[in-house]
Amino acid sequence: MEAGILTLDDFRFAGKTVILRVDINSPIDPQTKRISNDNRIRKSAPTIRELSDAGARIVMLAHQGDTEDYHNLISLEEHAERLTTLLGRPVGFIDDIVGPAALEWVKALRDGEILLLNNVRYLTEEVSTFVNFVKLTPAQLAQTWLVRKLAPLADYYVCEAFAAAHRYSPSLVGFAEVLPAAGGRLFIEEFGALARVKETPKHPSVYVLGGARIADAFSMMKQVLSDGAADVVLTSGLTGEVMTLAKGYRLGEPTERLIEDKGLSPFVAAARELLATFGDRILSPVDFAIDNGGRRELKLEDLPVPHLLVDIGEETIARYTRVIQSAATIFVNGPAGVYEKPVSAKGTERLWNAIADAPGYSVIGGGDSVAAGAKFGVLDRMGYVCTSGGGMVRFLSGQELPVVTALRRAAQRYLETGK
Ligand code: 3PG
């Protein structure tokens, strides 16, 4: 048991049917519709292999795509092919979820065999709680078609989908109501790494928050500064630019228009409030870079400029690096600038390297941040690289993760009743 959640060590899987919920939701190339990065698939493989080696009959549930555009929801056939290659053993795939053909295959599984059902988000009930904001109780989620059809065929439920732990769905919450349930290896590992920076950080603890997802950055910043998880927050990217606006500087028309066009203007007032409450525990850039036919740096006094701010400047990098070097805990989410372009990559590249080289325990999370880490070759020197995005942000923002709650409740029940 870890953090109130049962683990794979708590059950004997030989000859047992296990519903395994993974998060192998992967970036898809818009042209070819093929998987362009299989990191999450790779990270899920060890738990699948372990269960298969233990003789479990594995029924995998997963999703691909979100509901913003129905066409994002695509088949998991390629995921099964990738898993087959990665695991070196066949991963069956059926274009069905709970129809008679799928149920027949589940019943026919032999020890160690693996079956991936198709995209669970094809079922309306899987997405209804976050598309229509229908608030179902966990007991109601256990009464959904998916759970009623599959749970009677299974002995255990294992959740490996920490990246989807913020979703209140039948495949994530419902099974834990009716089956003995555990967290998979990756789930426990990722939850542990985030708990280490959020709940038991060694001090000084520094959060490096940048990027353009200001709502996420602000909700994490407010929470971790309030509860003491962070001693200092270093802001950069658009987040740092909004902080600079809140301090009374004008940035110049192109950057201010970008902030307005992205609907981020209301965050200037929120930034003022944060600065009023937390003062010098929030650092913002003291210089920036523009692309003026090449990189040019300017100080706060040189603002506003008729060019887009694309990165933080040398002086900011140096200041932030000093803070990072003396930190015992570092969490980083959100690039410092437009790191994809050489002219504006310096801030992110130098900070990411500083974090990787710092003696403190570091956790990096979020799609862009991890992609930047891969580009600059620093990921293997970070303490932990998260696979999750939304789940991580919500956890660090102090919100409950329904899947963690469900697994804890299941553990309690199992310890009391053996079921
Ligand atoms: C993710 O990609 O962050 C997870 O798979 C969860 O996806 P969602 O935010 O669409 O639920």
Q: Which tens digit of pLDDT belongs to each residue from 280-306?
A: 999 999 999 999 999 999 999 999 999
Alpha carbon distance 323, 211 (integer Å)? 19
Alpha carbon distance 146, 97 (integer Å)? 8
pLDDT at 383: 97
Q: Cβ < 6 Å from ligand 1: which residues?
A: 23, 25, 66, 163-164, 167, 389-390
Q: What percent of the chain has pLDDT over 90?
A: 94
Kindly give the distance from the C-alpha atom of residue 289 to the centroid of ligand 1, in angstroms, as a whole number.
Answer: 33
Kindly give the distance from the C-alpha atom of residue 25 to the centroid of ligand 1, in angstroms, as a whole number.
Answer: 7
pTM of the prediction? 0.94
Kindly give the distance from the C-alpha atom of residue 159 to the centroid of ligand 1, in angstroms, as a whole number.
Answer: 15
Which ligand 1 atom sits closest to the C-alpha of 388? 3
pLDDT at 71: 79
Q: What is the average per-residue pLDDT within 44-62?
A: 98
pLDDT at residue 32 is higher than 80: yes
Q: What class, spelled out in words, does domain 8-189+400-417 have in CATH?
A: alpha beta
Pocket of ligand 1, candidates 22, 66, 190, 388: which has the most ligand atoms within 8 Å of its Cβ, to mutate? 66
Q: Which tens digit of pLDDT belongs to each residue from 342-381?
A: 999 999 999 999 999 999 999 999 989 999 999 999 999 9
For domain 203-359, give the CATH superfamily: Phosphoglycerate kinase, N-terminal domain (3.40.50.1260)
Pairing of strands 287-291, 309-312: antiparallel
pLDDT at 130: 81
Closest CA to 99 of 76, 77, 122: 122
Which ligand 1 atom sits closest to the C-alpha of 391? 3
pLDDT at residue 25 is higher than 90: yes
Pocket of ligand 1, candidates 23, 74, 119, 129: which has the most ligand atoms within 8 Å of its Cβ, to mutate? 23
Pocket of ligand 1, candidates 21, 25, 63: which has the most ligand atoms within 8 Å of its Cβ, to mutate? 25
Q: Is 83 helix (H, G, I), strand (E, B) or coil?
A: helix
Q: Which tens digit of pLDDT belongs to each residue from 233-247?
A: 999 999 999 999 999
pLDDT at residue 69 is higher than 80: no
pLDDT at residue 318 is higher than 80: yes
Which ligand 1 atom sits closest to the C-alpha of 163? 4
pLDDT at 133: 75
Q: How confident is the model at residue 155 (pLDDT cuts 50, 70, 90)?
A: very high
Kindly give the distance from the C-alpha atom of residue 27 to the centroid of ligand 1, in angstroms, as a whole number.
Answer: 11
- Alpha-carbon distance values, 177 to 9, 184, 237, 411 (Å): 20, 17, 42, 10
Q: How confident is the model at residue 215 (pLDDT cuts 50, 70, 90)?
A: very high
Residues carrying CATH 3.40.50.1260, the chain:
8-189+400-417, 203-359
Kindly give the distance from the C-alpha atom of residue 96 to the centroid of ligand 1, in angstroms, as a whole number.
Answer: 21
pLDDT at 335: 97
Closest CA to 316 of 396, 386, 239, 230: 239
pLDDT at 4: 96
pLDDT at 190: 97
Alpha carbon distance 284, 312 (integer Å)? 10
pLDDT at residue 30 is higher than 90: no
Which ligand 1 atom sits closest to the C-alpha of 167? 11
Alpha carbon distance 292, 294 (integer Å)? 5
Which ligand 1 atom sits closest to the C-alpha of 389? 3
The per-residue b/e assignment along 294-332, b for 16 or more CB within 10 angstroms, e otherwise, is ebebbebeebebebbbbbbbeebbebbbebbeebebbbb
Q: What is the average per-residue pLDDT within 57-68?
A: 94
